[in-house]
Amino acid sequence: MKPYIEMTNEELHEEFKVMDREYKKFQAMDLNLNMSRGKPCREQLDLSMGMMDALSSDADLSCEDGTDCRNYGVLDGIHEVKVLMGDMMENNPDNIIIYGNSSLNIMYDTVSRAMTHGIMGNTPWCKLDKVKFLCPVPGYDRHFGITEYFGIEMIPVPMTPTGPDMDLVESLVSSDSAIKGIWCVPKYSNPQGYTYSDETVRRFARLKPAATDFRIFWDNAYTIHHLYDDRQDHLIEILAECKRAGNPDLVYKFASTSKITFPGSGISALATSLNNLEDIRRQLVHQTIGHDKVNQLRHVRFFGDISKMVEHMRKHADILRPKFEAVEEIFEKNLGGLGIADWTKPAGGYFISFDGLPGTAKRIVDKARKAGVILTGAGATWPYGRDPQDSNIRIAPSYPPIDDLKLAAELFTICVRYISIKKILENRAEEA
């Protein structure tokens, strides 16, 4: 089929009738499918059920150094889990603090601490006239939710296949002392699945911020979340690059086991410089007596070491890979060559980024919802939920069973074609 833009109005009207009939068939199925978040499916959660047997009532809950994990103590995490998370994050255990079940909570705490008490002796952000954050777009809605909650002005920065537009990042960061941070998902980014190039990481490490309390919020959520053994993206380690560049305090690096073991019952970690760690511990001692050491020990006993964790992730990939490939195949079959859409084909992570014609994303999402498929809200991948092109939609293939996923992908492509035809005809009518 030729591109829609090359069709006559008569041809488009005929195509619209076909799409309308197909859409009504899906409506009659009374579907109830949710693809709005990147949740692991039941089969993925089953992979970690052995964790429930890793500790028992007669188990020795002492660490190698004699720490009793049932009791108070150890503010920043037991040594064994620092080693495990350090191997996953490619960082020295001495540069890591272990937290609770969510890296999102660490990021919130980090912004909150900067607001109320400042960073390393700098003025608390709440006492400044203006605080700004750079936000690569499309990006992660929960990141944007944190900065919006604190009233921080968010500045969109375009993403490319090699990472954020670094010319723009460097220009903004070096010229505006009100810019205090940037959100980054550097590996298999949310939602595109892009991985920052070596050059991008090195340029981040060599930033010359106007603000001495500027920090890179490096959310390496998908560090070992590959879909393929034979084509894995590689990301160079940011803390080491910052140290080489003479900027050791420039970055906060976050990770968790949320999509490795049980989301909501995993462990999370922050890696950063010793200066930053000292600054954080001064607050942490007033906030908590330490996070769940029994759960930390459970993770260590279940995995043993990083090699077992990597093998565990291969099992995740075996479940996820067919789902991603099914969506990509259906998109190509139904939308390829029509000139109305583009989408990414990631080698890891949890999402596919879809771009339709400008002015169609909200209508596509709404059309799918009316036929029983819930997608991430259009605009969610932009600060304040405002996509200026109204074109980007985040596709989350992980949760539905694969047969349901195929149905949802088929319906989605019908909605895309249906709405795209209407948009093209509307544009032509306005131009006439």
CA nearest to 411, candidates 33, 142, 4: 33
Q: Are 223 and 187 in contact (CB under 8 A)?
A: yes
CA nearest to 313, candidates 260, 263, 255, 354: 260
Question: In 3-state terms, the chain is what percent helix, strand and coil (to 5)?
Answer: 45, 15, 40
Q: Are 374 and 38 in contact (CB under 8 A)?
A: no
Largest CA distance in the chain: 80
Q: What is the pLDDT of residue 356?
A: 98
Pairwise CA distance, residues 384 & 221, whole Å: 22
Tokens of 351: 């999402």
Pairwise CA distance, residues 344 & 211, whole Å: 35
Cβ atoms within 10 Å, residue 41: 18
Whether pTM > 0.85 for this model: the answer is yes
Pairwise CA distance, residues 246 & 255, whole Å: 24
Q: What is the pLDDT of residue 1?
A: 82
Q: What is the pLDDT of residue 248?
A: 98
Q: How many residues does the chain have?
A: 432
Q: Which residues in the chain are classed under CATH 3.40.640.10? A: 61-304
- Strand-pair partners of 353: 394
Find the helix or strand (DSSP H, E) in which 11 lies: helix 9-27
**Which CATH number does 61-304 carry?**
3.40.640.10
Q: What is the pLDDT of residue 432?
A: 79
User: Residues with Cβ < 8 Å from 426, sequence gap 6 or more?
Assistant: none
Pairwise CA distance, residues 320 & 337, whole Å: 26
Pairwise CA distance, residues 183 & 328, whole Å: 28
Q: Are 121 and 114 in contact (CB under 8 A)?
A: no
Q: What is the pLDDT of residue 411?
A: 98
4-45+310-431 CATH fold: Aspartate Aminotransferase, domain 1 (3.90.1150)
Q: Are 305 and 388 in contact (CB under 8 A)?
A: no
CA nearest to 54, candidates 301, 260, 223: 301
Report the alpha-carbon angle 357-339-33, nearest 5: 60
DSSP code of residue 282: H
Pairwise CA distance, residues 318 & 344, whole Å: 20
Q: Which amino acid is at 354?
A: F
In 3-state terms, what secondary structure has residue 382?
coil
Q: What is the pLDDT of residue 398?
A: 97
One digit per residue, the tens of pLDDT, for the chain of length 432 reads: 899 999 999 999 999 999 999 999 999 999 999 888 899 999 999 999 999 999 999 999 999 999 999 999 999 999 999 999 999 999 999 999 999 999 999 999 999 999 999 999 999 999 999 999 999 999 999 999 999 999 999 999 999 999 999 999 999 999 999 999 999 999 999 999 999 999 999 999 999 999 999 999 999 999 999 999 999 999 999 999 999 999 999 999 999 999 999 999 999 999 999 999 999 999 999 999 999 999 999 999 999 999 999 999 999 999 999 999 999 999 999 999 999 999 999 999 999 999 999 999 999 999 999 999 999 999 999 999 999 999 999 999 999 999 999 999 999 999 999 999 999 999 999 997
Distances (CA, A) of 202 to 198, 222, 242, 260: 6, 20, 8, 28
Pairing of strands 96-99, 268-271: antiparallel
Q: Which residues in the chain are classed under CATH 3.90.1150.10? A: 4-45+310-431
